[in-house]
Structure formats: C-alpha cells, structure tokens
A and B are shown apart, each in its own frame.
Chain A
Amino acid sequence: MSGPRDSGGCNQPRLDRRAAIRVVLAGRSDLLVVTGLGSTTYDAASVADDECNFYLWGAMGGAAMVGLGLAIARPDRPVLVVTGDGDTLMGLGALATIGVQAPPNLAIAVFDNGRYAETGMQPSHTDSAVDLVGVARSCGIDAALDIADEAALADFTRRVQRKEKTLFARVAIHADEPPRVLPPRDGVLLKNRFRRASGVE
C-alpha cells in the first residue's frame, strides 16, 4: 500500500477560506446559496447574513441535494452550494444523481481542507486517497475544476452566473479555523425568509 497521496497541503497552494468565500459571493446579484453543516455556513455568514442563504445546521451530506431540488425549481436563478469535503463525502451519491440531472443553473463549490474542522481537524478521505474533482467528473459533471488561486475562483464565480452547465469546483483551502460567525439557527425562520426573499412566497 502506498502512503497518503498528498498530506494536508503543506506543499500545495491553498486559499484562505474567508478570502475564498468573499470571491465566490462577490457581486452575488440574484444568486441563491445553500451552505453545508459547519464551517462553510460560518464562511457565508462572515460575508453577510443574506436572506437568500440557506444554511444547513445539520443534515450532513444533504447540501448538494438541497441545491439540486432548488435548482430544478428555480431555473431562472443561479444556485450555488458551498460546502465542505466532509459533507460531500457523506453524500457522494448526490454527485451521481446531479450528474444525471445536470441542471445548468447549479454549481457546487467544495471548500476542501482535507479535515473535519468542526470535530477537531481529523483528516478526511480527501487528505489522502480521494480526489473530489475526479469523483465529480466520473459522475458526469465534466465542468469539474480544481481551484487553488483567486483568479480561477473569480472565473468560476462568473461562470456560475451564466447558468450554462452544472459546475463543480474543488477549492483548496488551508486547514485553519477563523473566528466563527454564527447565522440564525432557527430552521423555520431560515426557510421562510429564504422563500420570501427569493420571491416564491
């Protein structure tokens, strides 16, 4: 057996997660956002507690599928899922389901630090063997990008707005824990304000 393929990214270029989220949400316009359990929720809230953000405070493994249902229901709006490697790994089958459905207005950005930050920075499967870009591509999402610099991330952000095809981006980020910014945790409030702000209620 070989050892870990790349470990934690000491040698790899990686982005600061808060800088990355600012790029992804810059000029968000009519973007609808779903974030995964844990750090990506704090990241999105650190930019602004926008009512068109739907934060998952649980339901680990569910972020991409919430994005799929939303993207199918709202073909007129770009939908961006921002989640972590842990959430993505827990629901890997969702990438297969999304590859088959291929909604052109859905984009998934996985902030990948190869760690379970929420539980104490234990290594995740992406720290060694698993390449999420390869997984996404094998699931039929051919616009699957490996991003480790702000220019490429800004380009991805522009493509999200164009709603031309399903996008997947693995965004390499440092394994650190910036101060938590906690948005509301009341699920009913988050649901209702999202529906109102996005014009379905």
Chain B
Amino acid sequence: MTDKPQSPPDWRDRIFAALKSADIRQVGYVPDAGHARLIELCCADLEIRAVSLTTEEEGVALAAGAWLGGQRCALLMQSSGVGNCINMLSLAKACRFPLTMLVTMRGEWAEFNPWQVAMGSKTQAALELMDVMVYRVEEERDAAETVAAALDIAFNGSLATAVLLSQRLIGAKRWVK
C-alpha cells in the first residue's frame, strides 16, 4: 500500500460501520461489483468471518447456523441472487431466524443487460412474498441508517429483512470501458 492520504469514508464505509456496530461476526457473500468495497472491508476485518458462497441460498443457511451458535450474520448479494434464496428463506421464516440481506439492484436504472431485468424487477415482490421486510435506498445519505435500522429490527425482533440498494445509487455497470 502507498501512503497516499485516505479518501473520506463514503456510504459503503458507513454501511460497514453499521455492520460493525450491530456486532455482525459472519458475512456471507457472492462476489459482486456493487458490493466490492464492502466485501473488501469485511474480508480485512479480523473480527468478521467473510464466507464466499457458491450460491446465495447457502448464505441463508449459514446465517441460521451462525445464530444457533450465538453469532450474527449478514448477507451481501445482487438482486439476481435473491431468486436463488426463495425456498431457503423458509428456514428463516419457520424458525424465525434473524436475517439481514443487503442487495445491490440490477435490471433497473440504465441497465445494459436485459437478462437482469426479469429478476431485478421482481426482487422486492419476491422477498415480500416470503415475508421478508424490504427497505429501499435511493440516496447515499440514507444508506447506512437504513442498514442499521434493518439490522436492529431483524436481530431485536427475530425477523428477516432486506435492504435494496438501488442501481442508480450504485451506478449502472459500465460495459464498454
């Protein structure tokens, strides 16, 4: 690393601070450009076990196991990954496991790839069908506070929550560089 001055924390760093304040000790993720900064921070943190998943539904089960063992787990995924979680969310619902999923949205703002639209346009509805409480973030200034609120209600109330980080917030993926 060079000794260049660090840039001021952006909203992704503030989301990480919210995870730390909530005592999140396991983070399950599928690599994702929108979550890249947050994943880096989680991997570098000595108190957090960052678990790279082959598919997002593994994360729902991981979070259940973490809670059985007395630890809090959060999941990072893209909107397409929400579709992979649907049946496994029955584990959270049947047992009232606390769960918070941070979801970067695709298939909405200035999306280049139409294949992302099918799941992206149904992500919120799919989560709500499975009784996951959904919060949506459009503005940077709301991101960390919304994540903190979603973690609070999940772990205080034994509920499943998701925060959808809009594609406009993250920035549409650039295909031609």
Contact = CB atoms under 8 A, between A and B. Distances in A.
- Report, as a range, how many residues of chain B touch the other chain: 20 to 34
Interface stretch (B34-42, B84-92, B108-116, B131-139): B84-92
Contacts of B73: 69
Contact of B91 (A59, A64, A67, A73): A59
A93 B54 contact: yes
Interface string A57-88: 11111111111111111100000000000000
B52 A97 contact: yes
Interface stretch (B5-13, B93-101, B162-170): B93-101
Interface of B: 25-26, 49, 51-55, 57-71, 73, 87-88, 90-91, 94-97
A195 B68 contact: yes
A72 B58 contact: no
Interface centre among B63, B90, B94, by most chain A C-beta atoms within 10 angstroms, is: B94
Given A190-B95, A195-B70, A73 B52 contact: no
B66 A56 contact: no
A73 B88 contact: no
Given A93-B58, A94-B58, A191-B96, A69 B63 contact: yes
A191 B52 contact: no
A123 interface: no
A130 B176 CA distance: 42
- Chain A CB within 10 A, most for which of B26, B52, B59, B70: B70
A67 B63 CA distance: 10
A73 B65 contact: yes
Nearest to B158: A188
A32 B69 CA distance: 10
Contact of B68 (A57, A66, A100): A66
Residue among B59, B62, B63, B73 with the most chain A CB within 10 A?
Answer: B62
A66 B64 CA distance: 6
Given A58-B90, A191-B97, A70 B69 contact: yes
Given A59-B88, A101-B51, A188 B95 contact: yes
Contacts of A60: 87
Contact of B71 (A64, A67, A73): A73
6 nearest A-B residue pairs (beta carbon): A69-B65, A73-B69, A200-B70, A93-B54, A187-B95, A65-B61
15 contacts: A59-B94, A60-B87, A61-B88, A62-B91, A65-B61, A65-B65, A66-B65, A68-B51, A93-B55, A94-B58, A97-B51, A188-B94, A188-B96, A190-B95, A200-B68
